[in-house]
Structure 1
Amino acid sequence: MLDWFPYAACQGSDVDLFFPVGKDADAMQQAGDAKNICRRCPVRLQCLDYALTSGEQYGIWGGVEADQRCPQDEGDLERLFRSRTEAIDGSHLLWTGYVSRRGTPQVRHGTRNKSAYRIAFYLHHGRHPRGYVTSSCGQDGCVEPSHMQDETTRTQQQSA
């Protein structure tokens, strides 16, 4: 999970530097120093991705402070979704992110986990799904948005 960490520019730095306390001038200087290290880091994006997916609530990760890491809009949600997928044979999109104990691929968005199936459905259909979302292709781990069906689309397909 942290296979990128040995390549981080912060290796050898005092870890406290990345966890400033307060918003006074000293804390802001400390945060600026930490962010300067992050700017030259070859694994900055992996670090930020780790903080977003694990729900890190404190510290500077990938050059971003905790209060700035909470994705707020649908564009952030789509970016998080796309960053956890990989195109595979044919028209499938393999989920490479977190999977719950029940086997549901999930994305951490703000303080909540959201189903990757529901996100994929929304991306393709432009509306929120009704009922359960399933993949119509049968490929294990596929979250290709065009393969997602909700209760309404399944009913329409059965009627056709």
Structure 2
Amino acid sequence: MNHHILQRRIATPLGPLTAARSAAGLSGLWFDDQKHHPGTLQVPHDDGSDPVLSATATALTAYFSGKAFQLPPLDPAGTAFQRAVWQALLEIPAGVPDTYGALAARLGRASAARALGAAVGRNPISVLVPCHRVVGADGSLTGYAGGLHRKQVLLRLENADA
């Protein structure tokens, strides 16, 4: 399921990220120690000229500076259900955490909160597809593949109660 064709390392205040792109757009964005990190990608490193990876770096710089940004084209590989969940994550406004149960209900899958949680955890595009905005029903910080310490910082950056 490796559809990555090019990669770039991007420095952030929370540690370096590896960005990968497919022919259609950004296909992955992982912290080095992230759960479900695909490991060493067997694709070339960008020379700094790729428009999708440059747009990703620009978006991350703006995000960490608290500024508005435009998402690069996205192309995460996953099942139809996972892709629907990841699309729903993009609809959660910054600073307004959502719960797994509410997200499952909005997707018409109220009884699938666990499956939804697994899909959220498998989100291959950290930070920009904001899986960090999903919290437990009681508001607790649960399950972030990039580490709960990063989830807390990201929510604070967005002025959410974390």
TM-score by length of 2: 0.22
Q: Name the one with the larger helix percent.
A: 1
Identify the structure with bigger relative contact order (alpha carbons < 8 Å, sequence gap 6+).
Answer: 2
When Rg is computed on C-alpha atoms for both structures, the one with the higher figure is 1
